Chains A and B, each alone.
Chain A
């Protein structure tokens, strides 16, 4: 039997999604795709990331081989020019004529270019395809001032692209009196505008352009109000125009303002021809978002494969990050009193605006707008879509409940089974929960593989995670985070058990609470607990330490070690610098400045470590614990002693803090920073704890992180004095040390904490658990028992003897270690 032929006209996101959905449902079609662009479908939603280092390949939604594998014939760079409905054939630009049984038009849209004199000049661009971006990029190298015409969603994206391209002076021109007129109200626009201004964007509202001036190339925008804005380039983003020209030519019904008219089956006025995505006009409306486009693809596939799914008007709720500012709009965002009651929260200090519209009886949520903080978007959208009854104080939805206890996330499990969680992939709550219950999926990666939820825009990922956790909890399936196969306890439980039972070494802990012989997971975890509790010299139990802790140095390629002496706050005398140079020279070490304002000496033989440290300690250095899951450095800027902007003496405070917490072991490494003013030269907000001077004292930030998943530290307390700050730090650090999972940084620890930052503040500042006195006492005990581990080693011949490569030839170094020259120093050869 000959398979019916489906020709897909257009290979954009929706055209691709149609193919993907069709082949997953049926292999009974011969599929041929024609695309106008030279490359296969790519992610247009994240187009601006092209300027952030993402390549065309990164943005691509599939590969050529995918089409081959599915047996789909793909013609790129070859748009369909004509449809002959009588013979059911299409003709392409390159001269291909093929007969179809069904035709699917996914021709998308083009940028709407207003008819303004001068629009044809050089330096005027649209923002739509990768090719457009390449043109913009090439032209931008010589441009200093750029403007975007259009302050809608896409226009602001384009403005971000210009900023990313290094255009110093970027302007947004909007005809309407507010930004994003389709999504947000005037107050929201005002808040967004002030946030964008802070980020260096110039916004001009109520501006109508009369002509674009310049000699051949765009040089100035002339407005109706006689004002002029000099520019070097202009990007037009004034809306979209559905690509309906081929359909129109074929006599298909189109809307008066464009768009191919479709019914709820996505059929055009010819029942063999479907239209989906931004070219389709349903019920008088063009849907310019990707999620409804995917829904249309799904409907068309269903209709072609014998299903009966129909399209209903689609929710246009949206959440996005515009130039770093959260913007969300959901449900009926614009309904006003007396048709509803409106609750508005506005915080110009933090740049947050939230509005919710509720029914006049206060029972249901109708819609709303979130600017600056859109964390509540998912749950609010679900509350609208599923007509959930509101709590007695609906304002809690945007303010959080203010009685101390957080109710965040409590409503998620109450959603109905058919609540749509991932709108890109049409995954509902039931699908997610049953994957957890029946298939044993317990993490987001597994869920993505299993249901595809969260693989589109990614906006629903937090909600999916909460649903996974909620379902597991509901199933009583909560998996305890045990250390490893040898201990049926979490780190926190074991910490308490070791303390209560006064156990001081690993074997005793294993005998009392574990089984088997231990392993490389539980040994260092218990070592860390023992150290955090008793602060004994760790090398006395050297074989339970990770290699770096065992030899008090960082193992490097080739098996040599690096040496990092402590340089508190990054302050060092010339004499000490000279000693570092002399030691490095003497032992042939490669030297490099670290990110933590210290000096790292690389390439030391194991045998040389004690001698190296003997010299360093003689010169007044101490161990820097660069090898330990311990306090590393407290980075500082130079502060008020030298800097003309400095408010307080950040170096002295950094040294004080580093000296207080040095040597203290924790579940993972700890880093701190102290900045003398808001310019934040110490980058304190990327640290586990950060301190920034204010006019009135110091601000404390906690749980920041650099590394693979950077996260800014959260503001914890403002304008406090030194004594209070150290007190909070004592409590915070000790609470972390006692309760975090092994190898979990403070950021991860906070992210997983029930109740989050509010809970942490309550414990540390308000003493809600009544443990603060104890935390302070425990921290003081650690501070009091500080010792330099390397001093202990060099003074103890038995410990010192362990630093040999060959136990049967202690003077011989590892002969396999070799070096080769590099930029007047050495590097390991291996």
Chain B
């Protein structure tokens, strides 16, 4: 694993992640969903597991935003539960939440802080 400083881990190349969409990277034994929110010029990373039915699919979900504050979110492709990409809180079911991770872009590479 190539590290930038301490806990920043190289995940993939910028080109690996589709515009305004997500991709899944494998870091050790973890599956991380990385989102390239081109429209906002932002990147996000979360766990790939949707906690609702324990499915490894969040990276395949559609992203978007909601509300006055344009809270960025991802929708699980299975049952369309949506999760905030900022806090990881599920927006459709109070009891659920997911882990989020920091993302940095350097030289066309995507780094994630674990």
Q: A517-B40, A802-B18 are in contact. Are A544 and B77 (CB under 8 A)?
A: no
- Chain B residues positioned under 8 Å from A807 (CB to CB): 12, 16-17, 23-25, 34
Instruction: Give bound CA distance, A548 to B60, whole Å.
Output: 10
**B24 lies within 8 A of A805 (CB):** yes
Instruction: Give bound CA distance, A812 to B56, whole Å.
Output: 14
Interface presence of B87 (CB below 8 A): no
Closest to B37 in A: A517
**A520 lies within 8 A of B62 (CB):** yes
Closest to B38 in A: A507
Q: A519-B75, A559-B55 are in contact. Are A808 and B25 (CB under 8 A)?
A: yes
Measured between C-beta atoms, what is the minimum distance from B17 to chain A in Å?
A: 7
**B62 lies within 8 A of A809 (CB):** no
- Chain A residues positioned under 8 Å from B98 (CB to CB): none
Interface presence of A589 (CB below 8 A): no
Instruction: Give bound CA distance, A162 to B16, whole Å.
Output: 66
Interface presence of B65 (CB below 8 A): yes
Q: A520-B82, A802-B18, A808-B16 are in contact. Are A550 and B26 (CB under 8 A)?
A: no
- Chain A residues positioned under 8 Å from B67 (CB to CB): 485
Measured between C-beta atoms, what is the minimum distance from B35 to chain A in Å?
A: 10
Mark out the residues of chain A between 192 and 251 whose CB falls within 8 Å of any chain B CB in the assembled complex: none
**B61 lies within 8 A of A547 (CB):** yes
Instruction: Give bound CA distance, A684 to B37, whole Å.
Output: 45
Q: A547-B77, A805-B24, A807-B23 are in contact. Are A518 and B55 (CB under 8 A)?
A: no
B55-81 Cβ-contact flags toward A at 8 Å (1 or 0): 111001111111100101101011010
Q: How many residues of B contact A (CB 8 A)?
A: 38
- Chain B residues positioned under 8 Å from A812 (CB to CB): 26
Interface presence of B21 (CB below 8 A): yes
Instruction: Give bound CA distance, A814 to B82, whole Å.
Output: 23
Interface presence of B54 (CB below 8 A): yes
Q: Which of B12, B18, B24 makes the CB contact (< 8 A) with A543?
A: B18
**A558 lies within 8 A of B65 (CB):** no
Instruction: Give bound CA distance, A544 to B19, whole Å.
Output: 10
Mark out the residues of chain B between 9 and 59 whose CB falls within 8 Å of any chain A CB in the assembled complex: 11-12, 16-26, 31, 34, 37, 39-40, 54-57
Q: A517-B70, A546-B77 are in contact. Are A808 and B11 (CB under 8 A)?
A: yes
Q: A558-B55, A807-B12, A812-B26 are in contact. Are A519 and B66 (CB under 8 A)?
A: yes
- Chain A residues positioned under 8 Å from B61 (CB to CB): 520, 547
State the total of A-B contacts with C-beta under 8 angstroms: 94
Instruction: Give bound CA distance, A74 to B90, whole Å.
Output: 47
Instruction: Give bound CA distance, A559 to B53, whole Å.
Output: 11
Instruction: Give bound CA distance, A507 to B21, whole Å.
Output: 13
- Chain B residues positioned under 8 Å from A507 (CB to CB): 20, 39
Measured between C-beta atoms, what is the minimum distance from A2 to chain B in Å?
A: 48
**A808 lies within 8 A of B37 (CB):** no
Q: Which of A519, A548, A555 makes the CB contact (< 8 A) with B65?
A: A519
Instruction: Give bound CA distance, A814 to B60, whole Å.
Output: 13
Mostly, the B contact residues are: strand
Q: A517-B70, A546-B62, A547-B60 are in contact. Are A555 and B77 (CB under 8 A)?
A: yes
Q: A543-B18, A807-B24 are in contact. Are A516 and B80 (CB under 8 A)?
A: no
Interface presence of A816 (CB below 8 A): yes
**A520 lies within 8 A of B24 (CB):** no
- Chain A residues positioned under 8 Å from B16 (CB to CB): 807-808
Q: Which of B25, B56, B62, B75 makes the CB contact (< 8 A) with A814?
A: B56
- Chain B residues positioned under 8 Å from A557 (CB to CB): 55
B82-96 Cβ-contact flags toward A at 8 Å (1 or 0): 100000000000000
Closest to A523 in B: B62
Instruction: Give bound CA distance, A524 to B64, whole Å.
Output: 12
**A518 lies within 8 A of B17 (CB):** no
Instruction: Give bound CA distance, A816 to B78, whole Å.
Output: 16
Mostly, the A contact residues are: loop
Interface presence of A542 (CB below 8 A): yes
Instruction: Give bound CA distance, A807 to B80, whole Å.
Output: 23
- Chain A residues positioned under 8 Å from B60 (CB to CB): 547, 550-551, 555
A533-556 Cβ-contact flags toward B at 8 Å (1 or 0): 000000000111011101100010
- Chain B residues positioned under 8 Å from A559 (CB to CB): 55-57
**A516 lies within 8 A of B62 (CB):** no
**A519 lies within 8 A of B12 (CB):** no
Interface presence of A819 (CB below 8 A): no
Interface presence of A830 (CB below 8 A): yes
- Chain A residues positioned under 8 Å from B24 (CB to CB): 805-807
Instruction: Give bound CA distance, A429 to B37, whole Å.
Output: 52
Mark out the residues of chain A between 539 and 594 whose CB falls within 8 Å of any chain B CB in the assembled complex: 542-544, 546-548, 550-551, 555, 557-559
Instruction: Give bound CA distance, A805 to B24, whole Å.
Output: 6
**B66 lies within 8 A of A485 (CB):** yes
- Chain B residues positioned under 8 Å from A522 (CB to CB): 64
- Chain B residues positioned under 8 Å from A808 (CB to CB): 11-12, 16, 25-26
Instruction: Give bound CA distance, A146 to B52, whole Å.
Output: 53
- Chain A residues positioned under 8 Å from B73 (CB to CB): 519
- Chain A residues positioned under 8 Å from B37 (CB to CB): 517
Instruction: Give bound CA distance, A522 to B61, whole Å.
Output: 14
Mark out the residues of chain A between 709 and 731 whose CB falls within 8 Å of any chain B CB in the assembled complex: none
**A519 lies within 8 A of B62 (CB):** yes
- Chain A residues positioned under 8 Å from B54 (CB to CB): 830
Going nearest first, the 10 A-B pairs with the smallest beta carbon separation are A543-B21, A547-B77, A519-B64, A520-B75, A517-B65, A807-B16, A807-B23, A520-B62, A806-B26, A808-B12
Interface positions of A (Cβ within 8 A of B) = 485-486, 507, 516-520, 522-524, 542-544, 546-548, 550-551, 555, 557-559, 802, 805-809, 812, 814, 816-817, 830
| CB pairs A–B below 8 angstroms (7 shown) | A485-B66, A519-B66, A544-B62, A555-B77, A555-B78, A807-B17, A816-B31
- Identify 6 new A-B residue pairs, CB closer than 8 A, beyond the known A517-B63, A522-B64, A830-B55: A507-B20, A518-B65, A543-B21, A559-B57, A808-B25, A816-B31
